[in-house]
Structure 1
Amino acid sequence: MKFISYNNTSFKKTTYYKRLPENEREVFDILSSVFHFKVNNYVLEHLIDWETVPNDPIYKLIFPRKEMLQPTDYKTLLLLHQSGLDEKTLFQFVQKVKKKMYPEVKHAETSIPKVNGVRIRGMYSNFETIVSLFPDPMAKTCHSYCSYCFRWIMFNNKEAQQNSSYTDPNEPVEYLRAHPEITDVLFTGADPLVLKAKTLQKYIDPVLDIESVKVIRISSKSLAWWPFRFTTDKDADELLKLFKYIQSRGKHLNFCAHFTHVRELENDVVKEAIQRIRDTGTVIRCQGPIVEGINDTPKDWSALWNTQIALGMVPYYMFIEADHNSESCFRIPLAKALQIFQEAQKKTTGLARTVRGPVFMNDLHRTLLDGIVTVNDQRYFALKSLQAPPNMVGEGTIKLIPYSETTKDAGDLIALFSKEQEARSTTVDIL
């Protein structure tokens, strides 16, 4: 299958756009002027059930929702569109709306690697033993864009990409050699596997020479959005040879696959792609967020985990959105997320107990929503810090916050687990 990509303009020329209900075309026209949109022919032809649009889960996963904007902003944009204004005239208001939507992604000072006091761009030491690397080509794009992705501000933004990525493959080497406690290197982006195999190897090779680095991680949505990357793409075989080569250098290779719905695993081509990756000796661990209206039932997650196990993959994380986006249409109440996770595990093979969740993503502390406890007749959510940034306290500790059936927000998780918070906290601590 030849890869064909569509953006907000070219998609309007397809038969799929014409098949959308009239109100959905209106929503698409308005929101695609604010949010970046990208989809490919595989997703359109094989993953979306067009008879059930707009309720189809993959459609919701790709196409922006009306609820992503504040009602007043959406209404204003609708009136502006209906008035017939061109895109240039709309640009100023659209930019104001975008600014409201910018996610707030926090980084601890200790998470920003420096050499001789100078920051290394495109490198983040989120936790004590792992760094995330953002080589410039990997930060540019994906095979398709997820509607809930908080990294949307990077797409088509050269300034943002340059400020948060690097171009010299040897850029991380000095820092990694100076910090032998770092054993894991994560290549992420956007998506590393939009790159050709030769380009990908150019950035991975220098890291392989560092003895203290034991694990290479590659985080990608490509198995779901474009499985032909591993089967019939021109350099598919070359990419799989690279996977074998990494392991021949004495490194463990972890392919961190992003799956949100079981339908992404039901096509023969994705099954073939998974098998080809596994035949290289690569371990595939699966993660994804729980998203309102897409996979927010126990049935969704038990089906996803059981299928992953059947295909030889390892369920790894169920993420829950932290409060980084000003909208909240993707998040569900914490109590519901916990209930879904617990019920789904009951209906899933015991081999899927490897999965951790619900876990807050995109915060400095990787925090597990571990359960509900009662203390002095009061109910609390139990939150456990699974990992913390270098030189920050709190890892392994448990904090309790007041229980609520409706809250979607755990508050400031960074402050909750900080040393200062320990001294003045009114929450209940369990040590």
Structure 2
Amino acid sequence: MTAREHRPVAAIRDLAHVDGLPPEEARARSAVLREFEFRITPYYAGLVDWSDPEDPLRLIVMPEVEELSGDQHFDPSDEASNTRVRGLQHKYPPTALLLLTDVCAAYCRFCFRKRFTLGTDPVHHVRPEGDLDSAERETTLDITEGLRYLHAHPEIDNVLLTGGDPLMLSPSRLAAVLTDVRTVPHIGVIRIGSKVPAFDPARITPALTRILALASRVDARTHVMCHFTHSRELTPEALAATTRLQDAGIVLTNQTPLLRGVNDDPDELALLQRRLAANGIAPYYLFLCRPTRGNERFALPLTEALGIVTAARARLNGPAKRFRVVASHATGKIEILGRTRDEILLRYHEARDPADQDRLLTWPVGRPLTWLDEVVAAN
């Protein structure tokens, strides 16, 4: 089936319907599914080796009982503090986020917004201060309030459409949002965060591509922030989808977390970045896994993560090593720069408090650490 002929195919939402997964594995995860949903496209299910518990693509989407354990919370980057009106976050002066949907083509088990994507209980949603209506979801397609906020804040020059995955919206609904955002005169860049090119590339139809292209001007581009996490996701189908976007003038970049068991091997990480660059998808961010409820199994100690990245970069050409290694901390995006013999060096790449912008931080190499709360407190 070509992209032109693509019709939505029902997502697989029941582990019992996954071909190749032993029935006992599905039954063993029933408690997890009461709290965190499962969803996968038939396309992506066909890429997974369900017989291998260590298959990286399986780890991305497969529910595990560890998701119900641990003392981590649902908002590790304190997005509640950045929520100005329903569905809009504003953390850094030039950037606003519009959260349009809670649906993705498939659900990553490490999602830092699992409070409203995978999560079945809306009690964990964050809302604007004073909005206590638990019946309202955190995301919204009605951007009336958000649009009013954007018009009132001329310091905002780029908007990230996110969720959930905005490319799961119908083309007409997405077109309406893009048209509205383009009415804000000081918005130059519109970014769309999406894993659809990896999870369901046939969804990138010519019709959808035209809608994205119409929202892009020579002096005000539309960007798609892809989420390719492992090199096996860069299939011929996925690369055909990204090529359609590129041919329409859409700017493509990639961001992914560094995840234990998925892409924490220097050879795999280098292969991913190399293939992205070779296909014109600029490596952008490599994130530390955020300490969200149940994500401990994916997290890497800071020193280990830095060692993996250093080894991978040694294998890469210039375009492939453009990515920054960052942690999206509550206080800002903190970049991990490198290390001396004794210390790890970090810097505020973006800061919630302008006084922190570009401030350097340090951490002793020998002290174990997986998240940066202690770093911030110590500096």
**TM-score, scaled relative to structure 2:** 0.88
Match of 1:128 among 82, 93, 105: 93
Query: Gaps (5+ residues) in structure 2?
Result: 2-7, 126-134
1:384 aligns with 2:347: yes
* Equivalence for 2:371: 409
1:153 aligns with 2:115: yes
* Equivalence for 1:48: 48
1:11 aligns with 2:10: no
| Alignment coverage as a number of residue pairs | 361
User: What is the aligned-residue identity percentage?
Assistant: 26
1:213 aligns with 2:176: no
Query: Gaps (5+ residues) in structure 1?
Result: 72-99, 114-119, 231-235
**Partner deviation per Cα, 1:139-177 (whole Å, 9 max, x = no partner):** x21010001112222134567383523343332232222
* Equivalence for 1:62: 61
* Equivalence for 1:165: 139
Asked if the contact 1:223–1:257 (Cα under 8 Å) also holds between the matched residues in 2, the reply is: yes
1:33 aligns with 2:7: no
For 2:77 and 2:320, the matched residues in 1 are separated by 31
Q: Secondary structure at the match of 2:38?
A: coil
For 1:343 and 1:284, the matched residues in 2 are separated by 25
Q: Secondary structure at the match of 2:277?
A: helix
For 1:228 and 1:108, the matched residues in 2 are separated by 32
Q: Secondary structure at the match of 2:89?
A: strand
Task: State the 1:318 CA deviation.
Answer: 0.6
In the TM superposition, what are the counterparts of 1:176-187 in structure 2 within 5 Å?
176-187=150-161
Match of 2:172 among 195, 198, 204: 198
**Partner deviation per Cα, 1:209-249 (whole Å, 9 max, x = no partner):** 1111100000001011000011xxxxx22211112211138
Runs of 4+ in structure 1 deviating by more than 6 angstroms, as ranges, are none
* Equivalence for 1:143: 105
* Equivalence for 1:394: 356
Higher helix share: 1
For 2:232 and 2:31, the matched residues in 1 are separated by 28
Amino acid aligned to 2:104? C
For 2:69 and 2:149, the matched residues in 1 are separated by 43
Deviates more, 1:155-164 or 1:203-212: 155-164
Q: Secondary structure at the match of 2:272?
A: helix
Match of 1:348 among 297, 310, 316: 316
* Equivalence for 1:256: 225
For 1:191 and 1:412, the matched residues in 2 are separated by 32
1:373 aligns with 2:374: no
For 1:149 and 1:39, the matched residues in 2 are separated by 14
Structure 1 residues 369 and 165: CA distance shift in structure 2, 3 A = same
Structure 1 residues 150 and 106: CA distance shift in structure 2, 3 A = closer
For 1:263 and 1:186, the matched residues in 2 are separated by 27
Asked if the contact 1:169–1:202 (Cα under 8 Å) also holds between the matched residues in 2, the reply is: no
Amino acid aligned to 1:63? M
Amino acid aligned to 1:38? R
Amino acid aligned to 1:410? L
Asked if the contact 1:133–1:188 (Cα under 8 Å) also holds between the matched residues in 2, the reply is: yes
For 1:229 and 1:277, the matched residues in 2 are separated by 12
Task: State the 1:179 CA deviation.
Answer: 1.6
Higher RCO (C-alpha 8 Å, min separation 6): 2
Structure 1 residues 14 and 56: CA distance shift in structure 2, 3 A = closer
* Equivalence for 2:252: 284
**TM-score, scaled relative to structure 1:** 0.78
For 1:196 and 1:326, the matched residues in 2 are separated by 31
Task: State the 1:106 CA deviation.
Answer: 4.4
Q: Secondary structure at the match of 2:9?
A: coil
For 1:404 and 1:122, the matched residues in 2 are separated by 41
For 2:236 and 2:80, the matched residues in 1 are separated by 46
Q: Secondary structure at the match of 2:300?
A: coil
1:361 aligns with 2:328: yes
Task: State the 1:398 CA deviation.
Answer: 0.4
Structure 1 residues 104 and 112: CA distance shift in structure 2, 3 A = closer
Task: State the 1:356 CA deviation.
Answer: 0.6
Q: Secondary structure at the match of 2:184?
A: coil
For 1:184 and 1:6, the matched residues in 2 are separated by 35
Q: Secondary structure at the match of 2:366?
A: coil
**Partner deviation per Cα, 1:369-390 (whole Å, 9 max, x = no partner):** 112235xxxx22212100012x
In the TM superposition, what are the counterparts of 1:83-122 in structure 2 within 5 Å?
102-107=73-78, 111-113=82-84, 120-122=85-87
For 1:186 and 1:176, the matched residues in 2 are separated by 12
For 1:102 and 1:121, the matched residues in 2 are separated by 21
